[in-house]
Amino acid sequence: MSDGALNPSAELPRARRAAVGRSLGGAVRKRIGANASLTLGCVIFGTMLLIAALASVIAPFNPDTQDIPHALTAPGVEGHLLGTDQLGRDVLSRLLYGARIDIFIACGSVLFPFAIGLIVGMLAGYRGGWVDSVLVGIIDIVFAFPALVLLVALVFVLGPGIGTIVIAITLTDWVSYAQLSRTSSRREGTQEYILAARTGGIPTRRILFRHVLPNIIVQPIVLATSDALLIIIAITTLGFLGLGVPPPAPDWGTMISEAQPYLNVQWWLAVAPGVAIIITGLGLSLIGDGLAAKLDVR
Amino acid sequence: MSEPLLQAKDLCVHFGGGRTMTGRRKQPFAALKGIDFEINAGEAFAIVGESGAGKSTAARCVIGLQRPTRGELLFAGEPLPFRRDRVQRQAIQMVFQDPYSSLSPRMTIGTALDELLRVNKICDSRAAARKRSVELLEMVGMPESALDRRPRAFSGGQRQRIGIARALALEPTLLVADEPVSALDVSIQASVLALLKGLQRELGLSMLFISHDLAVVRQLCDRVAVMWDGEIIETGPVEEVLSNPRQEFTKNLLAASTDLPPLEMVVDPAAPAAPAEPTAPAGRADPPEPTAPADPTAERS
């Protein structure tokens, strides 16, 4: 599952975009709809960022303070609004601090692969020839490895930690962006406006960043917004193997896996971080949809 | 007679040569099988032929988008390599076939022209580039307000006028036009062709005109080369070749072409509508070019 999570199909965001386009009839409604999803997405994700930034202010307890006698209390007891976990730590506080770590990792793990993949893909697709062959070879090799195995190996080598996770995900995840942008750059590269820029003597780097990039960037952006969520889930998998965010730092994925034994009795331990992931994901998806519609000005 | 502006000598282009993964030689496809032609200064030279004859490949060699496998090009007596210096590149500019894809969709017309003028150091400031852009648009009959709009705001004919302005921005001496009106509505073709012809005369440009439409060539060009299967099979002054074709193929091509009335008649708004192809339904009048921007959302459905 995590294998797929790290290499989401490129078709996914496109299919979703198409579905949104079809479900809303008429130009006016489309426009409002696009802006509405962007606005709503920004509000949701903005709230998440705010929570992450203010975690130390709004959290009622220290997220790392253990209190074994009061482990696994029900929500609402003794001021623990969401109860406590198996070590007696306040779940709400851990949830709020977890936003900080998870959103930081997700943003870093999206930004770097996004930038690297986009540039590599553009270069391969636009230049073609041996440059393309070499870069596609590298992309295929990375793709051929099960992403999780590569991730685990990298984390082992580099030692667990937040920075390690970002680096490891970057090294495995850039290929999705590279492949996506290579295909569209290849298509754009034969368009007459690119030929016109070439005959007009515009330097290659300028053609890539000013002419090709604005016309291919929508799909990678949409991919990035769904990717961010999948990365949070991937961190869970790493946490399960003991390679995730090092304890006691709170993160949603680890919280879910730690709550697994108590699912029958204390289900909220797993559900609370689950809901946090869903809400974040919803916000990111809405931003992705909204941006896709807004940027598509052709 | 003085030296021709452009000379092509034994120009060959092969596609898809090389070897397969098992090391076998792939059979290359010969798009141009050694063609020779020359274009004189101030002359409009046409290459006609069916699709797949190699006309566009020849044009792409001249403009520098296609590297010839063999043969050479001479421009004003100097060798014209595939990798050109700035002066040579600017001297030959192109009007593209499809006005719907030849303008950068996310750039305003002003930004695109500004980039072109300043990268090529024709203008050294934004203000100078804007002034020059307005002049260029004026030459092709477009208003200054077009500068702040994106291509989607314009009709095909308007876009092609902008495409012509862009080609003229670098002050070329040879203009390559690859089927410049074939993507346009029949009713607009004549006005764009008239514009091209007018500019060519006015600026003293040479022109390489690629077309499959002999009636258009007759109106616009001085000399013509007929291509078939990667070779030039007949060449000469337009009147001579078109009224007295020596090759069987040219005769067939002539017989297949529609007979349009002279350009002046088509352009004259008072004249009755030009007789279209006999198969077209009678009385079908194409709408004039819209002056207002078309509803951008109408194209997406």
Tens of pLDDT, residues B2-52: 688 998 888 999 887 666 767 777 778 888 888 999 999 999 999 998 888
- Domains by residue range for chain A, with CATH: 2-57+91-295 (1.10.3720.10)
pLDDT score, position A223: 87
Instruction: Judge: B105–A192 Cβ closer than 8 Å, yes or no.
Output: no
Give B138→chain A minimum CA distance, Å: 20
ω into residue B237 within 30 of 0, thus cis? no
Q: Which of A68-82, B30-44, B100-114, B168-182 has the least mean pLDDT?
A: A68-82
pLDDT score, position B113: 94
* Per-residue pLDDT at A244 exceeds 70: yes
Report the complex ipTM: 0.79
Written as one letter, the residue type at A61 is: F
Are residues A211 and B104 in contact, defined by beta-carbon separation less than 8 angstroms? yes
* Per-residue pLDDT at A115 exceeds 90: yes
Instruction: Judge: B102–A192 Cβ closer than 8 Å, yes or no.
Output: yes
Assess if CATH 3.30.70.3270 describes domain B6-16+28-272.
no
pLDDT score, position B298: 44
Rounded Cα distance between A199 and A207, Å, is: 11
**B151-176 average pLDDT score:** 93
Tens of pLDDT, residues A150-169: 888 888 888 878 888 888 88
Rounded Cα distance between B182 and B98, Å, is: 8
pLDDT score, position A1: 40
pLDDT score, position A24: 44
Rounded Cα distance between B92 and B84, Å, is: 11
Return mean pLDDT, chain B: 82
DSSP string, B83-149: S--HHHHHHEEEE-S-TTTSS-TTS-HHHHHHHHHHHTTS-SSHHHHHHHHHHHHHHTT--GGGGGS
Higher confidence at residue B79 or residue B286?
A: B79
Rounded Cα distance between A151 and A231, Å, is: 12
Q: How far apart are the first and last CA of chain B?
A: 58
* Per-residue pLDDT at A98 exceeds 50: yes
A202 touching B (Cβ < 8 Å):
yes
Higher confidence at residue B285 or residue B204?
A: B204
Instruction: Judge: B115–A210 Cβ closer than 8 Å, yes or no.
Output: yes
* Per-residue pLDDT at A39 exceeds 80: yes
* Per-residue pLDDT at A133 exceeds 70: yes
* Per-residue pLDDT at A13 exceeds 70: no
A210 touching B (Cβ < 8 Å):
yes
* Per-residue pLDDT at B131 exceeds 90: yes
Cβ contacts (< 8 Å) between B98 and chain A: which residues?
A: 192
What band does A209 get if pLDDT is binned at 50, 70 and 90?
very high
Tens of pLDDT, residues B38-95: 999 999 999 998 888 888 999 999 999 988 998 889 998 888 888 888 889 999 999 9
CA dist list (Å): A232 to A98, A122, A277, B127, B208: 11, 27, 8, 50, 59
pLDDT score, position B45: 94
B107 touching A (Cβ < 8 Å):
yes
Relative to beta strand B223-228, strand B231-237 is: antiparallel
pLDDT score, position A208: 93
Give B215→chain A minimum CA distance, Å: 26
The rounded percent of chain A whose pLDDT value lies above 70 is 87
pLDDT score, position B257: 66
Mutate to test the interface with B, among A29, A198, A199 (most CBs of B within 10 A): A199
Higher confidence at residue B147 or residue B52?
A: B147
CA dist list (Å): B211 to A103, B35, B168, B241, B248: 58, 17, 20, 15, 19
Task: For residue B152, give the nearest of A192, A196, A298 by CB distance.
Answer: A298
Are residues A55 and A65 in contact, defined by beta-carbon separation less than 8 angstroms? no
**A280-288 average pLDDT score:** 86
pLDDT score, position A52: 86
Are residues A130 and A85 in contact, defined by beta-carbon separation less than 8 angstroms? no
What band does A12 get if pLDDT is binned at 50, 70 and 90?
very low
pLDDT score, position B287: 45
B86 touching A (Cβ < 8 Å):
yes
* Per-residue pLDDT at B291 exceeds 50: no
Higher confidence at residue B26 or residue A208?
A: A208
Instruction: Judge: B94–A210 Cβ closer than 8 Å, yes or no.
Output: no
Instruction: Judge: A195–B96 Cβ closer than 8 Å, yes or no.
Output: yes
pLDDT score, position B164: 94
Domain range list for chain B: 6-16+28-272
Are residues B196 and B166 in contact, defined by beta-carbon separation less than 8 angstroms? no
B133 touching A (Cβ < 8 Å):
no
pLDDT score, position B127: 93
Helix (H, G, I), strand (E, B) or coil at A63: coil
* Per-residue pLDDT at A231 exceeds 50: yes
